[in-house]
Structure 1
Amino acid sequence: MALASRYPDVEIPDLSVPEFVLAGGASRPDSPALVDGLTGDSISHGQLATYVDRVAAALAARGLRKGDVVAVLCPNTMWYPVVFHGIARAGCVMSPINSLYTAHEVAFQLKDSGAKVLITVSPFLDRALEAVEQSPVDEVVVMDGAEGHASLLDLISSDAPSVEVDIDPATDLVTLPYSSGTTGLPKGVMLTHRNLVANVSQSRPLVELHEGDERIIAVLPFFHIYGLTVLMNQGLQWGGTVVTLPRFDLEQFLRTIQDQEITRAFVAPPIVLALAKHPMVDQFDLSSLRSITSGAAPLDEALAQAAQDRLRKGAADGVVVAQGYGMTELSPVSHTTPDATRLPEGATSVPKGSVGLALPNTECRLVDPSTGEDAAPGERGELWVRGPQVMKGYLNNEKATRETLDDEGWLHTGDVAIVDENGCYTVVDRVKELIKYKGYQVAPAELEAVLVNNPAIADAAVIGVKDADSGEELPKAFVVRAPGAEISEQEVMDYAAERLAPHKKIRAVEFIEQVPKSAAGKILRKDLKARA
């Protein structure tokens, strides 16, 4: 049975992402759209629109055409939205690359996405060029400049004519982030202009905006769809100010909230943990904060309450710490906790631990994974979602698309949830095998593929195990040594670390005689979890 949102449907503008997002600041051209949280440098809404126009013109002058993929390997900077919207304005598709990826991982994404241009920054140039050797592109642009490469300044100072591209928001892609989905190796998630426009539009009724006064801190990476949609595009479409930080450093984060008078923070659970427990928090004035919304991984109920109680001390109104839910394939939000004044009729609050209510235009089902039938009222079931934020599919991977997105448009999330009488959803378990580490998706299959390439390893299986101290889910490898091999636990971890991004590192190793598998050859992870 389809469960409708408690909110009425909203109209989804038939616009491209740049048209929709940049319109938010059109009436405030001199107000800051973007601020560098470290230097205080800023870009106004008017400047942003001009720079976007120039980047699009420069890309078109270089021969890029509608549908061409431009990959971006870059940490958060106030120039990231200029690049993203310039690519989108040119009708091209931006494929964001995780800043922590190794050259091998970057090369995989370049090849799989068919990227024609790679835009990066000078600290990443060596890694970028190593990746391009493995998977060539037509050009490497270095935003902050490097000898032999065009810079962002070259793009925004282009005198090429402005471009007008005929974009069909419903079918044309705007971004191609990579996700492991419900299982397996990373796949390109095809998100259209309409997907991203819809997700910002759907979220708007749940937010009590303070016009011209919203200041969002952007420390979660823009290469993650959470950062791209919720922090960057949503903040700009509100006509607000997005304050960027290149990485999470607690002191920088707290100082930026204080000095920039941040009103909203969209974060992940490790940041909430720091806000709840770190003594440094008491050294800063965080009273400007009105809301902290956590996503990307489950937030413990007690932790959310502890952070909220601490931050409310001395504050006039007090900050609310809550959470939402989504995934890359949902652009990314399907559920979130509304501001107190935006609760639907009859609802008085959203309990801590809940991911909130379904967004407008969003239908849900809770399906018993063992029977495929709808779960009984009050019972757990796999969460299925249908709405305009659901992806178009996985790039060049019909099999994976069919496994995740059915013929009726339901996206099978792989997460098990329960819904209460007020329409508040709580995610309680996962059907899928993905490991969530610090908000990142870690696919066991990818780690296993790396490990079995070691001649000293005959077989391997990876699962997530909960760390008692941090509460994080850590990748643990069960390894079968090759005959005669004497590889140690540390050598296994070092071998993986050399070939994987830091968040994918193996954190624990156990040697076993045989990896438990079904008759079909599927790893029996439940058996491994039972002994972990």
Structure 2
Amino acid sequence: MRDDERVLYGPRDDQPLPDIPLGHFILERLKQYGDKIAQIYVDSDETYTFSDLVTRAVSVAEELHDRGVQPGDVIAVITKMSSDFTPLLVGGLLVGAVTAPLSPSFDNRVMTALLKIYQPKYIFCDPNFATAVEQVIPHLDSHPELLQFGRWSAWDEFIQRRSSPNYNPMEIPSFWEREAIIMCSSGTTGFPKGVILTHKSILAQMIVAIGPHVELMRSDDTVLQLSPIFWISGLFQQLLPLVSGATVVILSSFSADKILKTIQEYKVTELFVSPNLAVMLAKTPSCNQYDLSTLRFIMCSSTTMSGKSQAMVETALNSRLSQWYATTEAIMVLGHTSRDQVKKGSSGRLQPRVKAKVVDLTTGKCVGPMVWGELCISSPWLTKGYYGNSKAMVDDQGWFHTGDMVYYDEDECFYVVDRISDIIKYKDKQISPSEIEELLMQHPGVKDAAVMGFKCKVDHDECLLTAVIRKLGSNVTEKQLVEYLASNMEEHKWLKGGVIFMESIPRTPTGKIQRHILREQINQGKKESRTTA
């Protein structure tokens, strides 16, 4: 629904929010599902029931309380996919602590800067990351204690103590707007920021996601999680099963065949993947050798996918695919519900309780259907801001400007074009690199591609250059790719800047191209070639 001012509204949702802190709500839901299997960690061969998670979470909460952790204290967690993360997260929430997951892949500079902002009381990490973390601790004013996950360590005091069978969570004052979790932004354009998720914002999102309108997850579902817990997608793949009663199967490392085998072996019903990974699975030669009949729903987010690729994936995996749009700051914004007729290539409609507008980049005025503009959002689960940064995240009217170029059709289905900062301008044209990358990925000799704009020597406009990873055994040439694109796209989208073949293209763990890093690599390569010429 949209009003006369072209502001669009998601469906009304009158489900009341529970008037309890987030940790209390999760604990109550965990108790409802008892001995049903909650989590299966394939790589470490660990299985936990919902009752196991209750015992482990309460044990952690009691130990944190005994160690003097207070509401508002920050607990940093550096792990990719440890089975100890869930009890630490829930246990921390039960005492009002703020959990801050961090990527183990952050270099010393990024890790130090973020931890200086967070000033955690404790840092928990996998043993193989301990040495790197120890180098950071002397730079922190909070002098945190470092605890390593795993047996025969101080972590045993948290996870193996005898928890009280009549545990009552402590009262947490003013919990609605209190920080619950700090998640890192994707860092696609530069330095990641700590995004604050409050008790209210997470509760509101979870209630809608498992409610009757969206029904993203049911108690009879088996969900396959591939995304690490330090990204918003991985966090909610952990949280939603806890409150919906679904079983989550977790892979910490994977290949296409390993994913397909896991779907078959564990009878997975829901798969959450990036578009790039979905296409890779569909193109895997052995795909049709696996029984994927239980798979009923594939959810893709993080980057765009064309209608053609979406149809190809649905055919290959014999499952319905729904594209969603989410950001760390606004969580889930757009998507198709379980009953929607999916429009290929679309990221769906506004979710319940969300309102949005698409504004012209020059005038700031709202535009109508089929016109490109920036997506601006307002919702109950819009995040509080960036930790340690007093700068307002929203404008003076309460709108969050996403930085994403989108448009919507007459049915109010949205289509994501690209990041505004990634849009390439050539003469009077605006070019989406994602559209060209999508076409290049369909070439039989291309494994991955990233398109950039570089200044042309002749007319000083931006010319398109692409970085390409060849498929194994492929000998595709620059000339072939340039001609391929020229025969399939308008002239202003041709690769007039040429093709560079690379061994890898920098991406975030959720599949987004890190264009600022790629640009540095390409510029460095040009300098080196001039030096050696």
Decide which moves more: 39-48 or 289-298: 39-48
Post-superposition Cα deviations, 1:79-136, rounded to whole Å, max 9, x if no partner, equal 3211111111121111110132123322222111111211111122222222324446
Distance 1:209 1:427 in 2: 21
Match of 2:220 in 1: 213
Letter paired with 2:222: R
Match of 1:234 in 2: 240
Distance 1:235 1:215 in 2: 9
SS in 2 for 1:429: strand
Distance 1:264 1:50 in 2: 27
Match of 2:324 in 1: 324
Aligned with residue 53 of structure 2, among 41, 48, 60: 48
Q: CA deviation at 1:32?
A: 0.8
Match of 1:150 in 2: 154
Is contact 2:76–2:124 with CA below 8 Å preserved after alignment? yes
Distance 1:158 1:66 in 2: 22
Letter paired with 2:407: I
Letter paired with 1:236: L
Letter paired with 2:223: I
SS in 1 for 2:176: coil
Q: CA deviation at 1:282?
A: 2.4
Is contact 1:416–1:427 with CA below 8 Å preserved after alignment? yes
Match of 1:510 in 2: 523
Match of 1:451 in 2: none
Distance 2:172 2:302 in 1: 34
Distance 2:351 2:360 in 1: 23
Match of 1:279 in 2: 285
Q: 1:464 to 1:101 in 2, by over 3 A?
A: farther
Letter paired with 2:43: L
Q: CA deviation at 1:165?
A: 3.3
Post-superposition Cα deviations, 1:404-461, rounded to whole Å, max 9, x if no partner, equal 41233211111121122222111113224599xxxxxxxxxxxxxxxxxxxxxxxxxx
In the alignment of these two chains, the number of paired residues is 450
Q: CA deviation at 1:236?
A: 1.5
Match of 1:297 in 2: 303
Decide which moves more: 246-255 or 303-312: 246-255
Q: CA deviation at 1:78?
A: 3.0
Q: 1:329 to 1:34 in 2, by over 3 A?
A: same
Aligned with residue 76 of structure 1, among 69, 73, 81: 81
Q: 1:70 to 1:466 in 2, by over 3 A?
A: farther
Q: Which runs of 5+ in 1 are unaligned?
A: 313-318, 344-348, 436-462, 479-492, 515-532
Post-superposition Cα deviations, 1:277-311, rounded to whole Å, max 9, x if no partner, equal 01132232111111000011112322211010112
Aligned with residue 244 of structure 1, among 237, 241, 250: 250
* Highest RCO, 1 vs 2 (Cα 8 Å, sep ≥ 6): 1
Q: How does 1:398-413 map to 2 (within 5 A)?
A: 398-399=390-391, 401=392, 404-413=393-402
Post-superposition Cα deviations, 1:353-398, rounded to whole Å, max 9, x if no partner, equal 1111111111011111110111134322211111111010112223
Match of 2:357 in 1: 365
Is contact 1:15–1:193 with CA below 8 Å preserved after alignment? no
Q: 1:181 to 1:246 in 2, by over 3 A?
A: closer
Post-superposition Cα deviations, 1:50-104, rounded to whole Å, max 9, x if no partner, equal 2111111111212211101111101113332111111111211111101321233
Q: 1:112 to 1:78 in 2, by over 3 A?
A: same
Letter paired with 2:261: R
Q: 1:374 to 1:86 in 2, by over 3 A?
A: same
Is contact 2:209–2:217 with CA below 8 Å preserved after alignment? no
Distance 2:103 2:174 in 1: 28
2:187 matched to 1:195? Answer: no
2:316 matched to 1:310? Answer: yes
SS in 2 for 1:333: strand
SS in 1 for 2:32: coil
Q: Which runs of 5+ in 2 are unaligned?
A: 425-432, 441-445, 456-501, 528-533
Distance 1:61 1:434 in 2: 53
Distance 1:234 1:353 in 2: 26
Letter paired with 1:277: K
Q: 1:268 to 1:124 in 2, by over 3 A?
A: same
- Aligned CA RMSD, in angstroms, stands at 3.3
Q: CA deviation at 1:208?
A: 4.6
Match of 1:62 in 2: 67
Distance 1:474 1:135 in 2: 40
Match of 1:288 in 2: 294
Distance 1:477 1:104 in 2: 29
Q: CA deviation at 1:211?
A: 5.0
Identity of aligned residues (%): 28
Aligned with residue 110 of structure 1, among 107, 112, 115: 115
Match of 1:128 in 2: 133
Decide which moves more: 165-174 or 253-262: 165-174
Match of 2:418 in 1: 429
